[in-house]
Amino acid sequence: MRSFTLITALILCCINWISVSVSETQTVEVQLGQEVTLLCPNISKQESVIEWFRLINRTEVSCVSSMHWSNDKASFCDGFQNRFEMSSNITTVFLQIKQVDFSDSGLYFCGFYIYKHTVISNTTHLNVQETPDGITNLMTVVLGGLTVFLTIVIIVLAVKIRKLQTGTNLGSDDLNYAALSFQSKAKRKRRPPSERELEPNVVYAATR
């Protein structure tokens, strides 16, 4: 039964009967060494064979695991016996992967053998990412702290420059005011033109 299902899936892939669009595919990202659980809706309303497959580079299809209905114990294909666990209930089929590796990346989909046909229920693209090391984390923290420090320095300098500009403007106004006051006082101390025209050695007499 399992071989027939796998052959059916291979034939479907070869003749492009399995078409996966971006909107229908769920992408799951996980870091190297972590644990991830893939979900698939259980579309079967009766006892049937449930299988998980993995598609790599759109050409290589491999059987991951299979089980007969939800109460059956899962069996795993070659290469998937150690870190993979499969379970199911009435509504959902689960595929748990422990300590994920880069080789686990690919397109996973579950199939149900219903009425002598394999029906694909859901597709999930698993993307395994590299775990950042300690040096990378330290550099991130240092750069973040340096950015905050430089931001504070720029703000402080901007405030000081603003204060200096304000003080310079006030000083110019004071100087202008002092100059105007001095000119006003100088004008007040000047004698009238009539007094400046009188000669000191001449005696003037007024007659009626």
As a residue count, the chain comes to 208
pLDDT for 126 = 93
pLDDT for 18 = 47
CA pair distance 76, 78, nearest whole angstrom = 7
- Of the candidates 129, 89, 95, the one whose C-alpha atom is nearest the C-alpha of residue 109 is 95
pLDDT for 162 = 84
pLDDT for 30 = 93
Encode the chain (208 residues) as per-residue pLDDT tens digits.
444 444 444 444 443 444 444 346 789 999 999 999 999 998 887 778 899 999 987 778 889 999 987 677 899 998 898 899 999 888 899 999 999 999 999 999 988 888 777 888 888 999 999 877 656 667 778 888 889 889 998 998 888 888 888 766 555 555 455 555 555 554 555 555 555 455 555 555 555 5
Contact in structure between 22 and 112 (CB atoms under 8 Å) = no
Name every residue whose Cβ is closer than 8 Å to that of residue 140 and which is 6 or more positions away in sequence: 132
pLDDT for 119 = 84
How many Cβ atoms are within 10 Å of 62's Cβ, its own excluded?
Answer: 17
Contact in structure between 86 and 95 (CB atoms under 8 Å) = yes
pLDDT for 96 = 95
Contact in structure between 64 and 77 (CB atoms under 8 Å) = yes
Looking up tokens 């089929």, which residue turns up? 93
Is the pTM higher than 0.75?
Answer: no
| DSSP assignments along 21-87, one per residue | -TTTEEEEEEETT--EEEEEE---SS--EEEEEEEETTTEEEEEEEEETTTSPPEE-TT-SSSEEEE
pLDDT for 10 = 47
Strand order in the sheet with 75-76: 25-31, 117-129, 106-114, 49-56, 60-68, 75-76
- Of the candidates 40, 13, 43, 12, the one whose C-alpha atom is nearest the C-alpha of residue 26 is 40
How many Cβ atoms are within 10 Å of 150's Cβ, its own excluded?
Answer: 10
Backbone φ, ψ for residue 6 (5° rounding): -65, -40
